[in-house]
Amino acid sequence: MTATIKSTLEQDKMRVAGRLAAGVLDMIGEHVRPGVSTGELDRICHEYIVGELDAIPAPLNYRGFPKSICTSVNHVVCHGIPGERKLRNGDAVNIDITVIKDEFHGDTSRMFFVGKPGILGRRLAQVCYDAMWLGIRQIRPGTCLGDIGNAIQTHVEKNRFSVVREYCGHGIGRGFHEEPQVLHYGRPGTGMRLEEGMTITVEPMVNAGSRHVRLLNDGWTVVTRDHSLSAQWEHTVLVTADGFEVLTLGAAGP
């Protein structure tokens, strides 16, 4: 398992790609409302990425994925394919954006609520968000990947939710998915040690019920096996000399 170390120039390009990806999420928020289809969200994002940002939507045609973004609603864990489904009041929606700019990827996702969120959905999203940041705050040269995973897992399970184990974060750069795999569970002191110049994603998927998931027949959409709610947040992170730099912060900050 070999991770790529980004040069100063490559880090700057990653910053640009990350900032653009975050900007797409900032833009799309006002469109997440009752009656809007996930396909319409995809169209808006695609036109913005291509037309306004002069960038490439990385998911489109990646290993056959048919759309430009992922929209995962309620019990959909990840990789939801945008389509005709119209959003309803109370829905919890994860929108996952990855853009390519000047050959480098920026990857981020965020939870949105349609109208007023339910108590469980709001709490699940908050626990997932806090867990992501607990994982990110472990990042510095010398940190083991297991330290990140353990911080996330401990917080999630303390709150009686569960961490999905079949899908994980990853290295990122010129490639959409590079080494290493960044698990969201684990034991401290295990796994690869981080080095300055590495870029990774931290993107825990947290279920309200069991951690177990299943893949639908479309070959992409992952759902909770027990139909419980799921939440996810994601940032792209650079390992710096003395810690970390989040490359995908939105206009509102963390």
The predicted pLDDT at position 222 comes to 99
**C-beta of residue 159 within 8 angstroms of C-beta of residue 139:** no
131-150 confidence digits (pLDDT tens): 999 999 999 999 999 999 99
Q: Is residue 96 part of a domain?
A: yes
**C-beta of residue 25 within 8 angstroms of C-beta of residue 236:** no
8-66 confidence digits (pLDDT tens): 999 999 999 999 999 999 999 999 999 999 999 999 999 999 999 999 999 999 999 99
Average confidence (pLDDT) over 95-123:
97
| Closest C-alpha to 25, from 241, 234, 237 | 234
Q: Is residue 225 part of a domain?
A: yes
Instruction: Compute the mean pLDDT over every residue in the chain, rounded to the nearest whole number.
Output: 98
Question: 37: which DSSP letter?
Answer: B
Q: Is residue 3 part of a domain?
A: no
Q: Is residue 103 part of a domain?
A: yes
Q: Is residue 29 part of a domain?
A: yes
Sorting pLDDT into bands at 50, 70 and 90, what band is 254?
low
Q: Is residue 223 part of a domain?
A: yes
**C-beta of residue 119 within 8 angstroms of C-beta of residue 96:** no
Q: Is residue 204 part of a domain?
A: yes
Q: Is residue 251 part of a domain?
A: no
Distance CA 175, CA 104 (A): 7
Average confidence (pLDDT) over 70-94:
98
**Residue 112 CB partners (closer than 8 Å, separation 6+):** 29, 32, 92, 93, 94, 95
1 burial class (0-12, 13-18, 19+ CB within 10 angstroms)? exposed
- Identify the CATH number of the domain in which residue 88 sits: 3.90.230.10
**C-beta of residue 132 within 8 angstroms of C-beta of residue 235:** yes
What is the count of structural domains for the chain?
A: 1
**Domain range spanning residue 211?**
8-246
pLDDT of 2 strictly over 90: no
The predicted pLDDT at position 226 comes to 98
